[in-house]
């Protein structure tokens, strides 16, 4: 990707870019397979319910983990993290004060949108919280589609603030959400499973 972003900022931005793209594509696959319609879920369960359940869980966990990682502090346990805060702190206030103020405001306004992912990650995914696992305290609620969409919006706002500033464009430079809505291999899988179901019905009726 050609860019006019200064190298010290671009180094972090370009490291984050594929991670943000990947998690949006995973979310697109998850939505198409498990959220789009009950009919699709029924087709998948009929073909390989147990295995499909594993895929659903792994995808969901990876999506939540990635949102939590992208919104982690820039440093934890003495080690630097690749995250949005790292991107923010790569922006020199003396050189790009307007961008720094804008991106800090965007991140601050979005922080609450990331709490669900951090809570679920800390209690059940990255660690097995003892009190939670022993049922001494209730498990955090399963993240909802609305929470995940809101979290992604906050991430997109911060990421797109950088190229917007350096290109002078008011529109989003990267349409990450296209990765969510664009049909992928999961749609071909569903089509083939539907065709197999029709073939089985015709054979049974013959």
pLDDT-derived band of residue 3, with 50, 70 and 90 as boundaries? low
- How far apart, in whole angstroms, are the C-alpha atoms of residue 66 and residue 42? 28
Residue 68: how many other CB atoms lie within 10 Å: 22
Helix (H, G, I), strand (E, B) or coil at 206: coil
Name the least confident of 6-20, 97-111, 182-196: 182-196
Residue 154: C-alpha distances to residues 91, 101, 126 (Å): 19, 16, 22
Maximum C-alpha span of the chain: 77
Tokens of 70: 């992208």
Residue 159 has a CB neighbour count (10 Å cut-off) of 24
pLDDT in tens, 23-56: 999 999 999 999 999 999 999 999 988 999 999 9
On average, the pLDDT of the chain sits at: 92
Local structure of residue 79 (DSSP, 8 states): E
Question: Alpha-carbon torsion 119, 120, 122, 123, what sign?
Answer: positive
- 2, pLDDT greater than 70: no
**Lowest mean pLDDT, pick from 1-15, 52-66, 123-137:** 1-15
Q: What is this structure's pTM?
A: 0.90
Collect all residues with Cβ–Cβ distance below 8 Å to 173 and sequence separation of at least 6.
160, 163, 164, 167
The model's pLDDT over 184-202, given as tens digits with 9 standing for 90+, comes to: 888 889 999 999 988 887 7
Kindly state the DSSP code that residue 105 receives in the 8-state scheme. H
Q: Whose CA is closest to 110, among 149, 162, 61, 64?
A: 149
Q: Which residues pair with 79 in a beta bridge?
A: 76
């Amino acid at each position: 990707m050609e860019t006019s972003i200064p190298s010290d900022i671009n180094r972090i931005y370009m490291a984050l870019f594929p991670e943000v793209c990947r998690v949006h594509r995973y979310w697109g696959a998850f939505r198409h397979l498990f959220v789009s319609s009950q009919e699709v879920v029924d087709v998948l369960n009929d073909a390989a319910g147990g295995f499909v359940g594993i895929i659903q869980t792994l995808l969901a966990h990876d999506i939540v983990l990635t949102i939590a990682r992208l919104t982690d502090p820039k440093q934890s346990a003495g080690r630097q993290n690749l995250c949005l805060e790292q991107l923010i702190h790569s922006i020199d206030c003396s050189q790009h004060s307007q961008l720094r103020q804008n991106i800090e405001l965007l991140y601050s306004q979005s922080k609450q949108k990331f709490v669900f992912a951090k809570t679920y990650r800390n209690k059940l995914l990255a660690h097995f919280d003892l009190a939670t696992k022993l049922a001494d305290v209730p498990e955090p609620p399963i993240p909802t589609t609305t929470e995940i969409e809101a979290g992604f919006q906050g991430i997109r706002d911060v990421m797109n603030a950088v190229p917007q500033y350096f290109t002078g464009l008011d529109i989003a430079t990267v349409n990450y959400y296209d990765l969510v809505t664009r049909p992928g291999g999961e749609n071909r899988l569903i089509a083939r499973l539907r065709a197999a179901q029709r073939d089985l019905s015709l054979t049974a009726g013959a």
